[in-house]
Chains A and B, each alone.
Chain A
Amino acid sequence: MTTTTIQWIALVLCATGTAVRIPGARKGHGRTVFVALVLLTVAVGLSIPPIYEAADGLLGSVNIANLLLRLALYTVFLLIGVRMAAAFDSPLARRLVVGRFGVAILALTVAATLYFFVASELQGSSTALRAFDDQDTVQQYAAVGRLYPGYVAACLVLPAVASALDRGARTIHRVACALLAGGFSLVVVFVLLRLTTLQLGAWDILLPFSAILLTVLGLCLIWLSHTLGRRRSTRANRLA
């Protein structure tokens, strides 16, 4: 699979996953995840050259679109992190994400991202800032951008695995949790690999976008189970 293909597939899946939630979101169900999916769709879209160039062109061709992509991604991880921790019933994960430490990491990441962005010379649109790879600040900017997503994903891997292994849970939820666990693990693996000097080649795109595919698929399964569950909501009498 070429890298462009997986990016477009991820975009279509994100957009679909978002679209199916519109009716629910209008009624007030699952707005947090809906907003996260909207932002994720935007972030994925901005990773694809034609979309990025068009969007950045409107914003003055100084790669502000890339900065927006980063900030959107941080928001996605924050929102998803809080909701996942609650869904997996893991107070520890919740504390790690929105506790003092988690907020500190987020603040640090945002501040560093803004600093390195301003400190770089970024004239002319370039997707993922590939044209400016020779600048030290751009490399720092990219490294910082992976810090927060990697941290949140690492907090969620174990609770997701535990939920997937829960024998008492519905099968569809166990499958969904397994997909989510796979997605988070890929994020962690990707961030760790980028810390080494290994040349990732195509995996530089394949790993994060596979993670997006798995995560969004997992969310879609839970949405499906919720929708089906609402339809047959008549509960059996437990005292009979």
Chain B
Amino acid sequence: MAVTAKAFQLWRSRIAPQDTVSDLCRVAGIKRSTLAQQLVRGKVSVPTVVAVARGYGLPAVDALAVFEGYEDLPARIAPPTDAELVSQVSHTDILRLLVARSEDRESSCTDVQMHLAPFPHRNSVRAWIEAIDPGDLRQQLAASTGVARQNLSAQLTAGRLAPEIAVQAARIAGVSLTSGLVVTGLLTPAEGGWPEDGRARALCALSDLDLVFLARDRLDVLGKQIRRAELDDGKDRAMWENLG
């Protein structure tokens, strides 16, 4: 669910009363046709709101809070949990740490020192959902947002999650409401209240046992993805080689 065009126009007239739609688009760095289309349809996308807020130097979270469904966002920002932080480390970085520990050369715990790749990574969204899941997150999410389970799984598989669903997932799990927007790449870590070097600190705090099991789980996910991709490739090849 995007925000309504009416609410967007109202907000726009408050933050930039003198600016035309063209000015707005130039400042926000979005295409005029994109915004025009969204306004015609009556729904303005959340990324557009964030881009406009950034363009005018407003905190993105405060800007979102103006709109229905996001009012409680600023009040419920909290530091991310360790599980959330670790979920945003890519499997290659986890394996690198494992190897480093095995050779007794673990460096100090900062993102830069540990060469952590910036996130979101390829499986950010699914890893985050799994990290915050109290057990029945998907059922509750489907029930409270009205989005079908199948549709939800498809979004996760594709590495996407609609903003309102990401916020609702955080509400259900009782974590910071901005986390879902950070792991989907809508907000930067800084905008969402994620501390610098938080991931490195959480990763360093893992015991050897937890680190090994974490690596195992990530490799498991990766293996399943590759198997599925090869299966699909095989189907394509069968089609092409026989009928192409």
Residue numbers of A with Cβ under 8 A of B are: 24, 29-30, 32-33, 83-84, 86-87, 89, 166, 168-170, 173, 176, 219, 222-223, 225-227, 229, 238-240
Contact = CB atoms under 8 A, between A and B. Distances in A.
Contacts, number: 59
Contact of A84 (B222, B229, B243): B243
A19 B92 CA distance: 48
B90 to A, nearest CB: 9
Interface of B: 92, 122, 222, 225-226, 228-229, 231-232, 235-236, 238-244
Contacts of B242: 30, 32-33, 83-84, 86-87
B244 A168 contact: no
A78 to B, nearest CB: 14
A169 B232 contact: yes
A93 B17 CA distance: 69
Given A29-B244, A33-B243, A238-B225, A86 B232 contact: no
Given A222-B244, A223-B244, A240 B239 contact: no
A29 B242 CA distance: 9
A87 B236 contact: no
A20 to B, nearest CB: 11
Nearest to A86: B242
- Please list the 3 inter-chain residue pairs (A to B) with the smallest Cβ-Cβ separation, ordered nearest first: A226-B244, A87-B242, A226-B240
B238 A87 contact: yes
Contacts of A168: 228, 231-232, 235
Contacts of B236: 169-170, 173, 229
Nearest to B90: A240
Contact of A222 (B222, B226, B229, B243): B243
